[in-house]
Amino acid sequence: MSSFQRPSVAVVVGSVSKGSLNRKFAGALARLAAPKLDLKFVEIGDLPIYDYELEAALPAPVRRFKSEIEGADAVLLITPEYLRSIPAALKNALEWGARPYGKSSWAGKPAAIAGVTPGAIGTAVAQSHLRSIATVLELIVISQPELYIQIKPETFDANGDIVDPALRDLLTKFIDVFAAWVARQNHQTLLAAANF
């Protein structure tokens, strides 16, 4: 990452549905973040179900997925809540990214977590599960601000942007903190690489 480039952020949306609210939210967040962070969507819908017997010759979608994660400066996980946890599709992607042993695509990446739902608790339980998994993956995740967001019919305008100024402010704060976090972690990585 050179000084004049925005850091790139691999965005993994935990829903494979075309009309996903989380995908729509991620799009709105990407537009808000654009001055500071380059959010790139990394698809998970074509990944096979994790099977260690596939590790000897990684399927093409797995190789594509792992290289897109590894090529990014940071990771943003945006999860729906299914059955008070994360969707199986997201868990599957997290498993592939962690494997083969010793070749994790996640370890040491600065990261953030968010999620939206029409439900009242705003994916809080799913995100809590995801934070536990992120620890095992050695993702370095920001804690605040937390984004537990309940989507209502009036949340998005016709362009898919966020209408509520208070929510836009919260998202802007989230982006500012995350961008600072990415810069700090990458600086430390550079110093470590140079043996300072």
Given the rule CB under 6 A, which residues bind ligand FNR? 15, 17, 20-22, 80-84, 117-119
> 68 or 81, CB closer to ligand FNR?
81
> 104 or 123, CB closer to ligand FNR?
123
Q: Kindly state the helix (H) or strand (E) to which residue 67 belongs, with its residue range.
A: helix 60-70
CB of 86 to ligand FNR, least distance (A): 10
> 57 or 83, CB closer to ligand FNR?
83
In the complex, residue closest to ligand FNR by CB:
119
CB of 127 to ligand FNR, least distance (A): 11
DSSP 96-130: HHH-STT--SSTT-EEEEEEEESSTTTTHHHHHHH
Backbone angle region of 148, left / alpha / beta, with phi > 0 → left and psi within -120 to 50 → alpha: beta
Phi–psi pair at 50, nearest 5 degrees: -55, 135
> 45 or 100, CB closer to ligand FNR?
45
> 148 or 178, CB closer to ligand FNR?
148
CB of 88 to ligand FNR, least distance (A): 9
CA dihedral defined by 147, 152, 158, 160, rounded to 10 degrees?
20
Largest CA distance in the chain: 52
CB of 54 to ligand FNR, least distance (A): 26
CB of 36 to ligand FNR, least distance (A): 24
Cβ atoms of residues 155 and 167 within 8 Å: yes
